[in-house]
């Protein structure tokens, strides 16, 4: 199943808005289950399992732990628990977009939308930026391991100043350097060309795109139904 990049952007936009307007736990689980299935279909098993287990853990905390805590502590934990849980579907769809979309295909799809060139270039650079930063983060962790420092919560508690020095400083320098390099590479390939661009990539809506969009429209209808009925779902 190959989705059009425009469909991926659409469902990401729908999810980013809808999860914060939704009050139903059942609909929230649907918003989470669909990205997990998309990631599994794309063979991103590690990403899907990581976010899925994290969502289940946060859900269990809300259902079985928070009500046993004092009101003040429980309220604070509940607030963080709910908001982090609502962000998980957005993170999964963002990871799905990045891991399954080539920059050339992404540019070809955006060209069909007739968006401004500055907006298109920014999105294209961002799409390539995050995987490159992930590679850089792995290099930084390896370098820290050689110095006997782990890039984890325990390592931060043992050596907070050294972890900040060995993580934040290289990451900031790398972020600036990588953004410049990606922008220069895109310009070299003619991304800012003023004329009509040709592309070898073929982008089109398929039956899978129609199915995914229909499912999300159905979930939005469930949200409105839940709102009008005063909370039918949990």
Name, in order, each residue with C-beta under 8 angstroms of 113's C-beta and a sequence gap of 6 or more: 6
Tens of pLDDT, residue by residue over 101-136, are: 887 788 778 777 777 777 777 777 777 777 777 788
pLDDT of residue 232: 52
Cα distance between residue 190 and residue 193, in whole Å:
5
pLDDT of residue 30: 93
| 14 vs 116, more confident | 14
Q: What is the pTM (predicted TM-score) of this model?
A: 0.80
Task: Calculate the dihedral angle through the C-alpha atoms of 137, 139, 143, 149, rounding to the nearest 10 degrees.
Answer: 30
Cα angle 80, 83, 89; round to 5: 135
pLDDT of residue 67: 85
Tens of pLDDT, residue by residue over 196-214, are: 666 666 778 889 999 999 9
Cα distance between residue 89 and residue 97, in whole Å:
12
pLDDT of residue 218: 93
> Which segment of 78-82, 122-126, 186-190 scores lowest on mean pLDDT?
186-190
Determine the longest span between alpha carbons in the chain, in angstroms.
64
Q: Which of 47, 20, 24 is nearest to 36 (CA)?
A: 47
pLDDT of residue 234: 57
Which single residue is written with the structure tokens 């961002």?
126
């Amino acid at each position: 199943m190959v989705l059009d990049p425009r469909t991926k952007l659409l469902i990401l936009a729908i999810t980013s808005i809808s999860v914060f307007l939704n009050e139903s736990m059942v609909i929230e689980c649907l918003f989470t289950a669909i990205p997990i299935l998309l990631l599994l279909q794309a063979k991103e098993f590690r990403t899907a399992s990581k976010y899925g287990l994290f969502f289940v853990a946060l859900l269990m905390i809300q259902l079985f732990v928070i009500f046993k805590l004092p009101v003040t502590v429980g309220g604070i934990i509940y607030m963080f628990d709910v908001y982090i849980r609502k962000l998980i579907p957005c993170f999964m769809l963002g990871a799905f977009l990045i891991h399954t979309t080539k920059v050339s295909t992404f540019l070809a799809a955006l060209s069909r939308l007739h968006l401004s060139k500055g907006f298109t270039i920014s999105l294209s650079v961002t799409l390539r930026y995050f995987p490159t930063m992930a590679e850089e983060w792995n290099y930084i962790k390896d370098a820290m391991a050689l110095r006997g420092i782990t890039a984890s919560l325990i390592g931060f508690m043992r050596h907070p100043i050294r972890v900040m020095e060995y993580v934040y400083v290289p990451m900031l320098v790398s972020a600036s350097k990588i953004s410049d390099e990606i922008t220069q590479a895109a310009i070299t390939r003619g991304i800012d060309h003023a004329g009509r661009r040709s592309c070898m990539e073929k982008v089109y809506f398929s039956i899978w795109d129609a199915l995914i969009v229909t499912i999300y429209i159905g979930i939005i209808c469930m949200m409105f139904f839940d709102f009008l009925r005063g909370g039918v779902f949990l």
